[in-house]
C-alpha cells in the first residue's frame, strides 16, 4: 500500500464534505481527477473505503480507520513542518557561544536575556575561554563564533566590534595615592594583586602579560567574581585589573580609585569573531545579528 500526503488530504476533503464533488472542489481538483484518484486509493488499500449513495458518500469501517490515521499523519506533518521552520529561522536548536571573561560576566547577560526569552525552544551553551583560544578555535573551524578582545592577534577570522572593553587598574585610596592618572602595567608588578579564580580567561590573559614583562604577579588571593575582587581591593588587600565597566559599577560603593592602563593591550574592544557569515547556523546568525543591532543602537 502506497499512499502519499496528497491522497490523504483528498480523502479527508471528500469525507468532510460528504461527497466526491464537494471534496474535489475543496482539494482544488477536477471531479474526474478526484474520482480517478479515489479509485486508485481504494485499489491500493484493497478494500472499499466509501459507500456511494445518491446524496453523497459515507465512510465504511475501513474508511473510518483511514480517516482517523490520515488526520494523525497530517497533524504530525504540520508539527514537523513548523519545527523545521523554527530551526531554519533560528528559533529552535542549541547555540554554543564562546566568550572571554569580560563578555561573559558583564556584556552578554543583559543582552542575551531578552533574545533568549523570545525563543523558548532554543537552548544556549556559553563557555569561557581566552580570546586567543577562541580565535584559534574559530579559525580552525572547531566552533562557529565567539566574543573576543581586540587585544590579541587575529588571523583567518573576521572581527566585528560591538563594545569598548578597556581594562583599568583599581586600588584603595591609600595604595593609589602614589599613582599617576595613567599607569603602565610594568610599574605595578611590585604590588600585591587580587586576582580572579583559576581558569578565568581574563586572569590568564593578565598573567601572560606579567610573564612577558618578566615578573609573575604577586597574587594574594583569588576571588570568584568581580564584586568580590572589588571588595578585597577596597580593604587594601591589593590592586586589581578589571574591565572599565566593572570599575565604574563598583567604584562608589567601595570608594575605589580607578586609573587608566597605558598599555596598548589594555585599550581593547569586544568583537564578534567568526570565519564565514554564510556558513553560520540559523540560530547563530540570529544571535549575532541581534548583538550587532544592539551595538548600532548604542552608537
Q: What string of pLDDT tens digits covers the 299 residues of the chain? A: 578 888 888 888 998 888 888 888 888 888 888 888 888 888 888 888 888 887 888 888 888 888 888 888 888 877 677 666 666 665 557 788 999 888 888 889 888 999 989 888 888 889 999 888 999 999 999 999 999 988 777 889 999 999 888 999 999 998 888 888 899 999 999 999 999 988 888 898 899 999 999 999 999 999 999 999 999 999 999 999 999 989 998 998 888 999 999 998 898 889 999 999 999 988 899 899 999 988 766 54
In a 13 Å sphere around the CA of 279, the CA atoms on its Cβ side amount to 12
Complete domains list, the chain, with CATH: 5-88 (1.10.10.10), 93-164+269-298 (3.40.190.10), 167-266 (3.40.190.10)
Q: Tell the burial category of 212 from Cβ atoms under 10 Å away from its Cβ (0-12, 13-18, 19+).
A: exposed
Distance from CA of residue 253 to its chain's centroid?
Answer: 33
Q: Contact, 47 vs 41, CB < 8 A?
A: no
| Cell 478494500 found at | 47
Q: Cell numbers of 233, please?
A: 581591593
- Cβ-in-10-Å burial (0-12, 13-18, 19+) of 52 comes to exposed
Strands of 105-211, DSSP E: 122-128, 145-149, 158-164, 167-171, 182-183, 192-196
Nearest to 258 by CA among 275, 274, 241: 241
Q: Let me know: does 219 contact 200? Beta carbons within 8 Å.
A: no
Q: What's the pTM?
A: 0.59
Q: Which long-range contacts (CB under 8 A, 24 or more apart) does 24-29 make?
A: none
Amino acid at each position: 500500500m502506497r499512499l502519499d500526503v496528497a491522497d490523504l488530504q483528498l480523502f479527508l476533503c471528500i469525507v468532510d464534505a460528504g461527497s466526491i464533488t464537494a471534496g474535489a472542489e475543496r482539494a482544488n481538483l477536477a471531479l474526474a481527477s478526484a474520482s480517478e484518484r479515489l479509485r486508485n486509493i481504494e485499489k491500493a488499500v484493497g478494500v472499499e473505503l466509501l459507500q456511494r449513495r445518491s446524496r453523497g458518500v459515507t465512510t465504511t469501517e475501513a474508511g473510518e480507520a483511514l480517516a482517523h490515521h490520515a488526520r494523525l499523519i497530517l497533524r504530525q506533518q504540520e508539527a514537523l513542518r513548523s519545527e523545521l521552520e523554527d530551526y531554519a529561522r533560528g528559533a529552535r536548536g542549541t547555540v554554543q557561544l564562546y566568550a572571554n571573561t569580560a563578555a561573559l560576566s558583564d556584556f552578554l547577560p543583559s543582552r542575551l536575556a531578552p533574545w533568549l526569552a523570545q525563543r523558548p525552544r532554543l537552548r544556549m551553551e556559553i563557555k569561557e575561554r581566552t580570546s586567543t583560544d577562541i580565535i584559534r578555535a574559530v579559525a580552525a573551524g572547531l566552533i562557529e563564533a565567539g566574543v573576543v578582545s581586540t587585544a590579541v592577534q587575529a588571523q583567518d577570522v573576521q572581527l566585528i566590534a560591538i563594545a569598548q572593553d578597556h581594562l583599568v587598574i583599581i586600588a584603595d585610596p591609600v595604595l593609589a595615592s602614589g599613582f599617576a592618572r595613567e599607569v603602565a602595567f610594568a610599574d605595578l608588578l611590585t604590588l600585591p594583586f587580587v586576582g580572579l579564580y583559576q581558569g578565568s580567561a581574563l586572569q590568564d590573559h593578565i598573567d601572560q602579560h606579567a610573564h612577558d614583562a618578566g615578573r609573575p604577579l604577586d597574587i594574594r588571593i583569588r576571588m570568584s567574581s568581580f564584586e568580590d575582587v572589588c571588595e578585597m581591593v577596597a580593604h587594601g588587600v591589593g590592586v586589581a585589573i578589571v574591565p572599565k565597566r566593572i570599575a565604574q559599577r563598583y567604584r562608589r560603593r567601595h570608594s575605589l580609585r580607578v586609573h587608566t592602563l597605558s598599555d596598548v593591550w589594555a585599550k581593547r574592544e569586544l568583537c564578534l569573531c567568526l570565519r564565514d557569515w554564510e556558513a553560520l547556523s540559523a540560530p547563530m546568525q540570529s544571535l549575532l545579528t541581534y548583538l550587532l543591532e544592539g551595538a548600532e543602537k548604542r552608537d
